[in-house]
Amino acid sequence: MLNLDHLNGSDHMPGSTAATALSVRDDEETILLRGYRAMVIGRRFDQQATNLAKQGYLAVYPSSYGQEACQIGAVSALRATDWLFPTYRDSMAIVTRGVDPAQTLTLLRGDWHCGYDPAATRTAPHCTPLATQASHAVGLAMAARLAGDDTVAVVLCGDGSTSEGDFHEAVNLAAVFAAPVVFLVQNNGYAISVPLAKQTRARSLAAKAPGYGIPGVQIDGNDLPEVYAAMTAAVELARGGGGPTLIEAITYRVGPHTNADDPSRYRDEAEALAWRRKDPIDRLGATLRARGLLDDDLQQAIDADAEEFAARTRRTVIEYPAPTAAEMFAHVYAALPPHLAEQADRYGREGGAA
């Protein structure tokens, strides 16, 4: 067995808070309640980020409003030692893992590319080149297995990303090596302006799974319990050596692609309205109330926590220290090559950002 001075070990997620962290060891009620709470907080965070973008505090923000059940359901099934490979769309999932909200938004603030420590948080940087992080997850999971760790890697990607060659190669590699990876495709109906029907002619994206010889499931991505159950099953299958699973979660991008996008150019608002009626938070809220697990007092308490989290997000994003020119040179290489050392001397001195 390999002796990797790898990054995992403890089952404790730094920065993880009871507010958001779920553990597979919890009973069902706790899971539903925590999940509900995390979705409410997550949405509030997402709305705050959208506001910050509109107000110019963020360079851009791709909202996952409406995809809360996917975002929270995905990370809720993970141990602290498991790795998450998110996209630009998945900030809500990242904070739900316990990553500091301002650090989560650093990239989108036009600040350093990745603001959090991926090693400490077992959360890869937001990936923008579509589907390219999928093979990273496969390799990481294989290395973890070689090291004798029971780490599972979860890839988040969108429906459009499944058309990329990188997606195909990564899923096939994971299948052939039975790597402990779960691919969660958040099928939110659109790739920027392009609807799913122009992305694939397949009945479903889950239908790709048999072509790789792995299990594939299509689930209701707006139903937290269903996402959580499917993710937990897939994660534990992978952990047990059963190889990868492809999960297609049907959801909807209620908002624009990013704050810069105008969906009215390519889709009918009625469609979005219809989906608002399938809102994942309202749905779980109703279930919880029906089961007597949620009442107004608890809802108020949760809302208060959400407000506090959103306020912290706003405050810390705005106060976040600006990067300095010196940082451009600090991490290009372990040691600067001569031609770069010269430049660091000349241009690495100038102060930080305006």
- The residues carrying an active-site annotation are 253, 257, 266
Extract the tokens encoding 109: 């603030």
CA–CA distance, 302 with 34 (Å, rounded to integer): 10
State yes or no: residue 142 binds another protein (CB under 8 A). Answer: yes
Question: Out of ligand TPP, another protein, Mg ion, none, which partner does residue 246 contact, by CB within 5 to 8 A per kind?
Answer: none
Using the rule CB under 6 A, which residue among 17, 30, 128, 264 binds ligand TPP?
A: 128
Stretch that binds another protein, among 46-54, 121-129, 227-235, 310-318 (CB under 8 A): 121-129
Closest CA to 109 of 46, 47, 41, 61: 61
105 near another protein (CB under 8 A): no
- Confirm or reject binding of residue 245 to Mg ion (CB under 5 A): no
| Smallest distance from Mg ion to CB 322, Å | 33
Backbone angles phi, psi at 249, to 5 degrees: -105, 115
Q: What is each CA distance from 351 to 106, 159, 200, 354, in whole angstroms?
A: 19, 42, 49, 9
Q: What SS3 state is found at 191?
A: strand
Please work out, in degrees rounded to the nearest 5, the angle formed at the alpha carbon of residue 20 by the alpha carbons of 19 and 26: 95
Comparing CB distances to another protein, the nearer of 71 and 81 is 81
Kindly tell me the burial class for residue 319, based on how many C-beta atoms sit within 10 Å of its own C-beta (0-12, 13-18, 19 or more): exposed
One character per residue 166-195, x = contact with ligand TPP (rule: CB under 6 A)? ----------------------x-xxx---
283 counts as binding ligand TPP under rule CB under 6 A: no
> What does the alpha-carbon distance between residue 105 and residue 49 come to, in Å, rounded to a whole number?
8
Q: Which of residues 281-300 bind another protein (CB under 8 A)?
A: none
Q: CB 172 → a copy of itself: shortest distance, Å?
A: 5
* Residue ranges binding ligand TPP (CB under 6 A): 89, 128-130, 157-161, 188, 190-192, 253, 257
Q: What does the binding site for a copy of itself look like in residue numbers (CB under 8 A)?
A: 163-169, 172, 175-176, 178, 198-203, 207-214, 243
